[in-house]
A and B are shown apart, each in its own frame.
Chain A
Amino acid sequence: MKHAGQQLDNNVERAIELFRGAIHHAAAHPLPQAPSAKQLQEYSSRKRRRHVSRMVMTWTLGPALAAMLVIGMVVRPRPASQPAASTYASDSALLEQVNEDLSQTAPDSLQPLYGPSDGSATSTTHENATNQKVTR
C-alpha cells in the first residue's frame, strides 16, 4: 500500500516536472510582442476616458439619487385619516338596502312545512314525559 502511494507520488512529481518543462518550452516559442507606442497611447486614453466617465456618473448619479430619496421622504403618502361624512352616509345606505333585501317574506310555496319551533317543542314534551317516568 505504502509502495503504491510512493509510486503515485513519484508519478505526480514526474507529471509536475513534465508539465513545468512543457510550459517553459511553450512559453519560449514565441514570446509575446511588447505593446507598441500606439497601444500604450490608446490604452492610456481609454483608461482616462473610463476614469472621466466614471467620475461623471458618480457626480451625476449620486446627487440624483440623494435628491430622489429626499423628495420621496417629503412627498411620502400620508396614512389614511378619518373617513369623510359622505363615506358614513353611503355605508349606512348600503346596509339598509341589504337589510331590506334579506327581510323580504318568502312566498307560501317556499315556506317550510315545520318550523324550527315546532320540532323543538315536540322534543321538549317527549323529554318531560321521560323525566316524569323516572321520578315515579
Chain B
Amino acid sequence: MEEIAITDAQLLPQAALLNAANFDEVFRLYSPRVFRFLLGALSDRDAAETLTQECFLKAHLAADGFRGESSLQTWLMKIAVNLLRDHLRSQRFRFWRRAQSSALDPAEVSDWLADRQSSPEAACMARDQVAGLWSAVARLPAKQRTVFVLRFIEDMELQEIAANTGMQLSTVKTHLYRATAKLREQLKGGL
C-alpha cells in the first residue's frame, strides 16, 4: 500500500490549518486518503475530487472547532464521511441525474490489472470481477458503503472506523457484516 506515512510528529497543530501557507502541506499529506475513500465510495472521479476539495475547505473554515481530541486525519475523515453522507442523501432525491457522467470506468484500471495478471484471460476475468464489485458497492446503502470502503480500501481497524464515523463499534460490525453479506449475495451470480 503506497500510504504516506503520517506520524504524530507530522500532525500539524490546529492553528496550522488557518494559515494559508500551511494549507497546501496539509492537503498534500492528508488528501490522498480522503480522495481514495471518496473515490471508492462514489466510483466517480469528479464527485470525489469536488468532495475532497470541499472537505479541506470546510476543515480550513472550521479549524477553530478542531479541539485536538482526535488526530487531524481522523477529524478530516469525519468531515469526509459527513460530506459523503450528505452527497448520497441529496443524490437520492435527484434520481433523474443518477447517470454519472464521470463515473470511473473499470477500463481505466485495465492496464494495472493486466500487469498483475499472468494471462489475458486472467486479466479479463479480473476486470469483470472488479466491475462487478464496483457496481455492487455502488448499490450498498450509504452507511454500509462507508464502513466497507474504510475497512477494505483503507484497511482501517473496526475501532478506527467507529472513531471516524462516530458510530458505535457494534454498529460498525453490523454494517460491515450486512455489506459483505450483500456483496457476497450479489456477486454469487456474477462470479
On chain B, the residues within 8 Å of A34 by CB distance are 23-24, 27-28, 31, 53, 56
Inter-chain contact B39/A11, CB cutoff 8 Å: no
Contacts of A40 in B (CB 8 A): 20, 23, 57, 60
Q: How far is the CB of A23 from chain B (nearest CB, A)?
A: 5
A44 / chain B contacts, CB cutoff of 8 Å: 60-61
> What chain A residues lie within 8 Å of B112 (beta carbons)?
21-22, 25
Segment of A12-20, A60-68, A100-108, A122-130 engaged in the interface with chain B: A12-20
Instruction: Please list 21 pairs of residues, one from A and one from B, whose beta carbons are closer than 8 Å in the complex, sorted by A's number.
Output: A8-B184, A8-B191, A12-B180, A18-B129, A19-B40, A19-B134, A19-B153, A20-B153, A21-B116, A22-B109, A24-B1, A26-B45, A26-B109, A27-B48, A28-B32, A32-B53, A34-B28, A39-B53, A39-B57, A40-B23, A40-B57
Q: Which residues of B contact A (CB under 8 A)?
A: 1-2, 20, 23-24, 27-28, 31-32, 35-36, 39-40, 45, 48-49, 52-53, 56-57, 60-61, 104, 106, 108-109, 112-113, 116, 126, 129-130, 132-134, 137, 152-153, 180, 183-184, 187-188, 191
Q: Is A110 an interface residue (CB 8 A)?
A: no
Interface band, chain A: 20 to 34
For the residues of B in contact with A, the DSSP-based class is helix
A19 to B57, CA, bound (A): 29
Q: Across chains A and B, which 6 residue pairs bring their CB atoms closest together, nearest first?
A: A34-B27, A27-B36, A22-B109, A15-B129, A32-B49, A25-B112
A27 to B153, CA, bound (A): 11
| Neighbouring B residues of A47 by C-beta, 8 Å | 61
B-contacting residues, A1-59, CB 8 Å: 8-9, 11-12, 14-16, 18-28, 31-35, 37, 39-40, 43-44, 47
* Contact present for B36 and A24 (CB under 8 Å): yes
Among B32, B130, B184, the residue within 8 A (CB) of A31 is B32
Q: Which residues on the B side are within 8 Å of A23 (C-beta)? A: 36, 39-40, 153
- C-alpha spacing A16/B129, complex, angstroms: 9
B21 nearest CB across to chain A (Å): 10
